[in-house]
């Protein structure tokens, strides 16, 4: 079946460090892939997405590339800020059922000044 | 533009009391609607989704129910809350390939 696996958190980094949050998936067909972010006490916001293999989604300095050969969609940022502290969710679209999203467990990111 | 509203923002209820959380969407028609629950420090659990008025699918059997009386209104209910119902409840709507989330309701059952 379809599933998403994310690296466990929390991930703690210093400001200006390089960030990678790993995400791998299993899916039939060609799903779209997403990263959502949840700031403390808020709902989720779409951070970036990619709809086909080799697409790169990017937003606010974050990037992720849809790698079909490794079934991965790792989130990266070159220089993190304290304001990036949040929970990050990887997800894929469930194309066989009204495009429901299959969610990873979320990775909490803590950035220290 | 589309907007999604949830209320109340926070709620403290005793065990055994009823629950009603409301979600409304503006600026779109016939959206897919979703209720999620997020327990403290945990990921998202899909509770219900709806593809149209009166059409509800339940993902997890429990003491919660959902209704969609109007196209852009989605209600989460319970007749008797349990302690384990505490959490952060999120409503979302989707177009073809993206979901948009409301601000959430923080429910504490005491």
Per-residue pLDDT tens, chain B, 110 aa: give them: 779 999 999 999 999 999 999 999 998 888 999 999 988 777 888 999 999 999 999 888 679 999 999 999 999 999 999 999 999 999 999 887 688 999 999 999 99
* CA distance readout (Å), A104 to A7, A42, A53, A78, B55: 9, 18, 19, 23, 26
For A10-54, write each residue's pLDDT tens digit: 999 999 999 999 999 998 888 899 999 999 888 899 999 999 999
The torsion region of residue A62 among left (phi > 0), alpha (psi -120 to 50) and beta comes to: beta
Which site among B39, B98, B103, B107 would you substitute to test the A interface, given the most A Cβ atoms closer than 10 Å to its Cβ?
Answer: B98
Residue in chain A nearest B39 by alpha carbon: A105
β-sheet bridge partners, residue B99: B94
- Work out the minimum CA distance from B105 to partner chain A, whole angstroms: 9
Is A42–B104 a contact, with Cβ atoms under 8 angstroms apart? yes
- The CB density around residue A32, as the number of other CB atoms within 10 Å, is 23
Report DSSP letters for B61-89, one per residue. -SSEEEEEEETTEEEEEESS--GGG-EEE
**Among B21, B37, B26, B22, CA closest to B4:** B26
Which positions in chain A have a beta carbon within 8 angstroms of at least one beta carbon in chain B?
A: 32, 34, 36, 41-46, 49, 51, 89, 93, 98-101, 103-106, 108
Residue in chain B nearest A42 by alpha carbon: B103
Distance between CA atoms of residues B88 and A42, nearest Å: 9
The torsion region of residue B75 among left (phi > 0), alpha (psi -120 to 50) and beta comes to: beta
């Amino acid at each position: 079946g379809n599933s998403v696996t994310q690296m466990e958190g929390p991930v703690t980094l210093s400001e200006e460090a390089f960030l990678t949050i790993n995400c791998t998936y299993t899916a039939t067909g060609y799903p779209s892939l997403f990263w959502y972010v949840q700031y403390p006490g808020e709902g989720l916001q779409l951070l970036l997405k990619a709809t086909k293999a080799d697409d790169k989604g990017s937003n606010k300095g974050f990037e992720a590339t849809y790698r079909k050969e490794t079934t991965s969609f790792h989130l990266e940022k070159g220089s993190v800020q304290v304001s990036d502290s949040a929970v990050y969710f990887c997800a894929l679209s469930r194309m066989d059922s009204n495009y429901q999203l299959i969610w990873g467990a979320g990775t909490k990111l803590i950035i220290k000044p | 533009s589309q907007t999604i509203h949830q209320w109340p923002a926070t709620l403290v209820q005793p065990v055994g009391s009823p629950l009603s959380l409301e979600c409304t969407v503006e600026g779109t028609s016939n959206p897919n609607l979703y209720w999620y629950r997020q327990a403290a420090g945990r990921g998202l659990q899909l509770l219900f989704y709806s593809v149209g008025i009166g059409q509800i699918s339940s993902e997890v059997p429990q003491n919660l129910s959902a209704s969609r009386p109007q196209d852009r209104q989605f209600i989460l209910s319970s007749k008797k809350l349990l302690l384990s119902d505490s959490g952060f409840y999120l409503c979302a709507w989707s177009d073809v390939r993206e979901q948009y989330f409301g601000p959430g309701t923080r429910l504490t059952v005491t």
